[in-house]
């Protein structure tokens, strides 16, 4: 998979993370980024929060830039080490260990988002085995994100979050399509009566439908590429993020099989 890794700069860590990092000389004076793998860089204007899995193990790793550290799974760090994103080829340097729940409530700057800062929140469906284990959230265009955000808004206590970390963050119109209008995910979730992130079968169908519709029929209605078809705008927005040092290209072999024969 040809991902774009979005660099969400940490503005303030949650107290639990601060406690873990207290006295850690390796993080002092460094910029730390939560690194989120996406296939939809053109939707980054609509980021309202970022997801981690509460039980997933994360690490903070040295990157290929001396003053920048990356927060993600170790699995992603190992892959990045072979893509010139670590200090030396094939090697990772971990400076801290964290668990997802410690990160909840961390405040970050999400590149291109209309919201000046967004929060790290929990989602059940985050896979440790995909991307970086950090998933940036675009409820306007991702049914999974919309359903998870609705759950958090409905039951902040159950999810152990402060309501103000998500309450006033509304989905942002990014892409217009003839089929689902300019808020594809909320529209299709309403049509299919999807009520929760637990409706997995329905969500998979919804995701497939809006992916295709957005890619083939979508027109960007925000930002630098306003008016352009999604297919045309996607690589341009991706490149703009990379040029601004707000994203890095990241590849992940799908179902990689390591052969020891021969
Ligand atoms: C922002 C975004 C905006 C995404 C959108 C999708 C959509 P796929 O096709 O299944 O490979 N993702 C990335 N890493 C993980 C993970 N570890 N666990 C769970 N989800 C993850 O899906 C790629 C997408 O899955 C990525 O692109 C990311 O969410 C999520 F408007 O990033 B996306 C219709 C989808 N729209």
Q: Which two three-digit tokens encode residue 50?
A: 């970022």
- CA gap 92, 87 in Å, rounded: 7
Residue 30 Cα to ligand 1 middle (Å): 28
Q: Is residue 141 within 8 Å of 46, Cβ to Cβ?
A: yes
Residue nearest to atom 35 of ligand 1 (CA): 142
CATH domain 2-251 topology: Isoleucyl-tRNA Synthetase; domain 2 (3.90.740)
H/E segment holding residue 154:
helix 143-154
Residue 260 has pLDDT above 60, yes or no: no
Structure tokens at 194: 């999807």
Identify which of 1, 6, 7, 38 to mutate to test ligand 1's pocket (most ligand atoms within 8 A of the CB).
Answer: 38
Q: What is the rounded CA–CA span in Å between residue 33 and residue 35?
A: 6
Q: What was the pLDDT predicted at 116?
A: 98
| Distance, CA of 160 to CA of 202 (rounded, Å) | 26
Q: Is the CB of 35 under 6 A from ligand 1?
A: no
**111-137 burial string, b = 16+ CB within 10 Å, else e?**
bbbbbeebbbbbbeebebebbbbbbbb
Summarised one tens digit per residue, pLDDT across range 86-145 is: 999 999 999 999 999 999 999 999 999 999 999 999 999 999 999 999 999 999 999 999
- Measured from the Cα of 143, ligand 1's closest atom is 34
Place of tokens 């309450």: 167
**Is the CB of 188 inside a 6 Å radius of any atom of ligand 1?**
no
Query: Percent of the chain beyond pLDDT 90?
Result: 96
Counting other chains too, the contacts that 60-65 makes at CB distance below 8 Å and 24 or more residues apart are 60/26, 60/27, 60/32, 60/94, 60/95, 60/96, 60/98, 61/86, 61/92, 61/93, 61/94, 61/95, 62/86, 62/87, 62/92, 62/93, 62/95, 63/33, 63/87
d(CA 58, CA 120): 13
Which residue has the least CA distance to atom 29 on ligand 1?
38
CA max distance for the chain:
58
Query: Could you tell me if the CB of 87 is within 6 A of ligand 1?
Result: no
Mean pLDDT, all residues of the chain: 96
Give 80-107 as a 3 state SS string. Answer: HCCCCCCCECCECCEEEEEEHHHHCCCE
Q: Is 246 in the pocket of ligand 1 (CB under 6 A)?
A: no
pLDDT tens-digit map of 193-249: 999 999 999 999 999 999 999 999 999 999 999 999 999 999 999 999 999 999 999
Q: Is 133 touching ligand 1 by the criterion CB < 6 Å? A: yes
Summarize pLDDT for 150-185 with one digit per residue, the tens.
Answer: 999 999 999 999 999 999 999 999 999 999 999 999
Q: Is 230 in the pocket of ligand 1 (CB under 6 A)?
A: no
pLDDT at res. 253: 80
Nearest CA, atom 7, ligand 1: 142
What pLDDT, on the 0 to 100 scale, is given for residue 259? 52
Q: Give the Å distance between the CA of 260 and the centre of ligand 1.
A: 32
Confidence of residue 256 (pLDDT cuts 50, 70, 90): low
Domain spans of the chain, in order of start? 2-251
Contacts of 15 (CB under 8 A, 6+ apart): 105
pLDDT at residue 255 greater than cutoff 80: no
| ipTM summary value | 0.98
| The length of the chain, given as a count of residues | 262
pTM for the predicted model, two decimal places: 0.96
Whether 234 lines ligand 1, by a CB cut-off of 6 Å, is no
């Amino acid at each position: 998979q040809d991902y774009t890794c979005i660099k969400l700069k940490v503005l303030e860590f949650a107290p639990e993370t601060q406690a873990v990092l207290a006295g850690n000389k390796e993080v002092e004076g460094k910029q730390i980024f939560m690194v989120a793998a996406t296939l939809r860089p053109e939707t980054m204007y609509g980021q309202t929060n970022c997801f981690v899995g509460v039980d997933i193990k994360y690490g903070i790793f040295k990157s290929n830039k001396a003053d920048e550290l990356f927060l993600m799974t170790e699995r992603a760090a190992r892959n990045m080490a072979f893509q010139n994103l670590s200090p030396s080829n094939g090697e990772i340097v971990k400076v801290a260990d964290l668990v997802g729940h410690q990160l909840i409530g961390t405040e970050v700057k999400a590149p291109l988002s209309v919201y000046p800062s967004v929060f790290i929140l929990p989602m059940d469906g985050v896979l440790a085995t995909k991307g970086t284990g950090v998933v940036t959230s675009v409820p306007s265009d991702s049914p999974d994100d919309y359903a998870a955000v609705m759950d958090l808004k409905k039951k902040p206590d159950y999810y152990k979050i402060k309501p103000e970390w998500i309450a006033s963050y509304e989905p942002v119109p990014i892409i217009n399509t003839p089929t689902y209008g300019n808020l594809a995910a909320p529209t299709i979730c309403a049509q299919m009566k999807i009520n929760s992130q637990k409706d997995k079968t329905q969500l998979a169908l919804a995701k497939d439908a809006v992916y295709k519709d957005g890619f083939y029929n979508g027109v960007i209605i925000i930002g630098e590429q306003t008016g352009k078809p999604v297919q045309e705008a996607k690589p341009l927005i991706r490149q703009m993020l990379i040029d601004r040092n707000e994203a890095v290209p990241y590849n992940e072999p799908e179902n990689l099989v390591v052969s020891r024969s021969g």
